[in-house]
Structure 1
Amino acid sequence: MELEPRMELDLSLFGAEHVRRYRETGGAEGYLWNGVPTLILTTTGRRSGLPRDTPLIYGDDGGTGVVIASQGGAPTHPQWYLNLVADPQVRVQVEADRYTAVARTAEGAERERLWRLMAAVWPSYDVYQQRTDRIIPVVALERTTR
């Protein structure tokens, strides 16, 4: 059974290189990744205490950023998610706009609504959920500075 449509992803921007070019260009390079908007999320390492930057696909819910802790449907949560659970104070960059936010995991009806919002942005999220027994977290990033 084929779970995921075959997509040719452009991985020329990935990980640290994605972050570097996004930061250097104020998002002119890297904001759109494979046709979808991305942000840079900075969490604090729960063991190291150091800042950890992660490029993530995101959606907007009336001014609140939304990201999905999918890790491609892996059986464990991504490190960035574990970091923000330990310390929900995060920094966000969307294009050239940098701000602080409080991260929280959406629950119940809000989670379902935000999941649908994000699956419309990146339909593979539904496939990722089928790959794992864990409930993939949906994270709201509530802006605290302008």
Structure 2
Amino acid sequence: MSDESMQVIREARRDWVFEHREAYLNSGGAEGHIMDITAVGGRNFATHCMIKYVGRKSGKVFITPLCYADIGGEVVICASKGGADHHPAWYLNLREMETIDIQIATQAFHSTWREPEGAERQKVWDFFVDCHPFYATYQASTERVLPLVMFKIVEAIPVFKASDATGMRQD
């Protein structure tokens, strides 16, 4: 997908993403975890988590909501950026971190992360696309392989608050 096409999609979604993040944060996770995203090719019972990470250049703390699935006791997300030709900033930031914080509904955790490879990656990809079918369209829109990131929970932490974030996600 061209950067120009991605920009049009990003502008249309910006308000929705901001509202989703704010609802998730302001409700302590009671809202925003399960959402109907059939309007964008998703399911009516789609699951969303939030990740909290530090910007590799800015040093600011960001909180980003993302679709997720649970496979084999690990949480999996996809660095799709809607099928853009380059990785989302959150993914580039995450790659610089050993651990990451993740919130699922009303629970938050420190976690380790990894990227599945080979046959495991294909298994996880197939499962993820079954949960969130529009990711297949995203993958078809770009030549880059969309990264999958898997989280293993380490310990419980307090849920995220809007005041935790010192930066605002731009993409």
TM-score between the two structures when normalised by the length of structure 1: 0.86
Which deviates the most, 12-21 or 100-109? Answer: 12-21
Look up the SS of the partner of 2:145 in the other structure: coil
Corresponding residue number in structure 1 for 2:69? 59
CA distance in 1, matches of 2:119, 2:61: 32
Runs of 5+ consecutive residues of structure 2 not aligned to the other structure:
1-12, 38-43, 157-171
Contact 1:13 1:30 in 2 (8 A): no
Corresponding residue number in structure 1 for 2:47? 37
CA distance in 1, matches of 2:15, 2:30: 13
Across the aligned residues of Structure 1 and Structure 2, the Cα RMSD in angstroms comes to 1.6
Q: 1:1-146 counterparts in 2 under 5 A? A: 14-33=16-35, 34=37, 35=44, 36-146=46-156
When you count helix as a share of all residues, which structure comes out higher? Answer: 2
Contact 1:31 1:95 in 2 (8 A): yes
Post-superposition Cα deviations, 1:62-88, rounded to whole Å, max 9, x if no partner, equal 321100111111000001100011113
TM-score between the two structures when normalised by the length of structure 2: 0.74
Which deviates the most, 24-33 or 46-55? Answer: 24-33
Q: Percent identity?
A: 35
Q: 1:12 to 1:87 in 2, by over 3 A?
A: closer
CA distance in 1, matches of 2:15, 2:141: 25
Look up the SS of the partner of 1:144 in the other structure: strand
Amino acid in the other structure paired with 2:112: V
How many pairs align? 136
Q: 1:12 to 1:26 in 2, by over 3 A?
A: farther
Amino acid in the other structure paired with 2:109: Y
Contact 1:69 1:77 in 2 (8 A): yes
Runs of 5+ consecutive residues of structure 1 not aligned to the other structure:
1-10
Contact 1:93 1:99 in 2 (8 A): yes
CA distance in 2, matches of 1:62, 1:24: 30
